Amino acid sequence: MTKYREIIRLTGMGFSQRDIMASCGVAQKTVVKVQKRAKELNLSWPLDETLTDIELQKLMFSKESKVSPNKRMPDYNYIHKELLRNGVSKKLLWTEYMEDCRANGDEPLMYSQFCYYIQQDEQKRRATMHIKRKPGEQVEVDWAGDTTTIIDPDTGEIIKAYIFVGVMTYSQYAYVEAFLDMKQKSWINAHVHMYEFFGGVAKILVPDNCKTAVIHNGSWKDQQINETYQEMAEHYRTAIIPARVRSPKDKPNAEGTVGNISTWITAALRDEQFFSLAELNRAIRDKLELFNQRLFQKKEGSRLSLFLGEELPLLAPLPATRFELADWKTATVQFNYHISVDGMLYSVPFEYIKKKVDVRVTDYTIEIFYNHNRIASHHRLKGRAGQYSTITEHMPEDHQKYLEWNGDRFRKWAERIGINTYTAVNAILTSKGVEQQTYRSCMGLLKLAEKYSDAMLEAACKKALSYTASPSYKSIKNILVTSSEKLASEITDTDTKTTHKARGITRGADYYRR
């Protein structure tokens, strides 16, 4: 704004134009123009005390004073809305405004005046308000624009490290940590470490609009919080209110602290070399302590003293356990009522076979959901791929019965059928290095007894044992399949002889010949 009052004052005191130019920092053309206009308006020093600077400006050279009251003013709300659309410019809107004025017989503004009034309206819209935050109410988080580096000790490669910044809005108490990337895991871990550093949780969390925080749906009003980020907020009982897109004033403390961090931490470490992320973060922590202890320039105390004295007592307590980062995956339940996660297999109730389920994966647990209801939970398996985690209740009833069998139960079952079946089963149970590997064969024999009868199985085992002392399930089955009729007739003959021997009064044909 031109210093009209000062130019008129110095002119009245008799200063030369050169001195007035030097004092007010304006061009000679401006001084001459102001002096001429003041003379036309009969303005001289001292001015009327009731005349404000804004009124003086309008009186001297304001464009508003030159506009005829008959001229039609622009529709500012319409223009503001249209300028947000792609390809729409002030020149186009002015052209349309001119055509509309002519059609309605109104006197239009010239293009320069049209732009001036639009600019004045935009400045009013950009008016900002200082919102006084309460202690412990809000924390702002962001990634710093400047990165730092670490050196791979094995290859000498220079690796970028990204700086996370969290700031308590009221005290401006800061937390800073370096990460090798800005992905979801780093973003969540940064928050977990930040809350532990603060020793409590603020009611409101204000993040930037990064993908790890917000899913964009066209406009900032339709933003959707990232699922994992929302889960973290629920764990810490805080509310996420993202900053609007391209609105740094929604989180001014984080934005301002980022600049200070670049000076007092990143730049302060610029000449040092670090060979691991842990080494870099130790150096950052040392600088951070000094940064938080640094006295304010325009008010008493420091970030640390203000935080400890007024903010920390009002923070919500940390939960009993720290938040555990989870990945969400989709899986289909296989016919063996298990799902595969990272090469390991976890059971699901058999009723969900061929259903698609959602899987929440953490470092220690596997949780399985169907239609947002948890249907199974397992400890996460580690080590060799292909391991099974099976819960008995997830199995069909007949499969559960299979689990109840063991070597002793198979031997008792075989003993009830006969000595040959017992001998064959015992041979099968001892044929492998691990007894459980033979249970499937023993179950097969059990099924054969149901199909052919106990007597047939006993006869087949007797025949198999006549060939080898260690018959297999397959050899016994082959005997039953290929010689079932012969075995049946042998069993019948044996039963008949046994019956004849039991009846001592039975006489043969030779007795009657005599």
Per-residue pLDDT of the chain (514 residues; tens, 9 = 90+): 567 788 888 888 888 888 788 777 788 888 888 888 888 878 888 877 777 777 777 777 654 445 566 788 899 888 888 887 778 888 899 999 999 998 888 888 888 888 888 888 887 766 555 556 688 889 999 888 778 899 998 888 999 999 999 999 888 899 999 999 998 889 999 999 999 999 999 998 988 777 777 775 555 455 677 778 888 988 999 988 887 554 444 445 545 566 677 777 877 788 889 999 999 999 999 999 999 998 987 778 899 999 999 899 999 999 998 888 888 889 999 988 899 999 999 999 999 999 999 999 888 899 999 988 999 999 999 888 888 898 888 988 777 766 667 888 899 999 999 999 999 999 999 988 777 778 888 888 888 888 888 888 999 999 999 999 999 999 999 989 888 778 777 776 665 555 444 444 444 455 444 4
Of the candidates 2, 93, 81, 5, the one whose C-alpha atom is nearest the C-alpha of residue 43 is 5
- Report whether 198 contacts 315 (CB < 8 A): yes
Q: Does 4-61 carry CATH code 1.10.10?
A: yes
Q: Which CATH class is domain 138-314?
A: alpha beta
**1: exposed, middle or buried (Cβ count in 10 Å: 0-12, 13-18, 19+):** exposed
- The pTM (predicted TM-score) of the whole model is 0.50
Sign of the dihedral defined by the CA atoms of residues 318, 321, 326, 330, in that order: negative
Residues 6+ apart with CB under 8 A from 201: 195, 236, 237, 238, 315, 316, 317, 318
**285: exposed, middle or buried (Cβ count in 10 Å: 0-12, 13-18, 19+):** middle
Cα separation, 444 vs 497, in Å, equals 32
Strand order in the sheet with 327-332: 327-332, 356-361, 365-370, 373-379
pLDDT at 475: 92
| Token output for 163 | 């700086």
Domain ranges, ordered by start, for the chain: 4-61, 76-125, 138-314, 327-399, 405-501
pLDDT at 374: 92
Cα separation, 329 vs 323, in Å, equals 19
pLDDT at 223: 62
pLDDT at 508: 47
Return left, alpha or beta for 239; rule: phi > 0 is left, psi -120 to 50 is alpha, else beta: beta
H or E segment and range at residue 149: strand 148-151
H or E segment and range at residue 239: strand 239-240
pLDDT at 299: 78
pLDDT at 245: 54
The amino acid at 333: V
- Report whether 159 contacts 145 (CB < 8 A): no
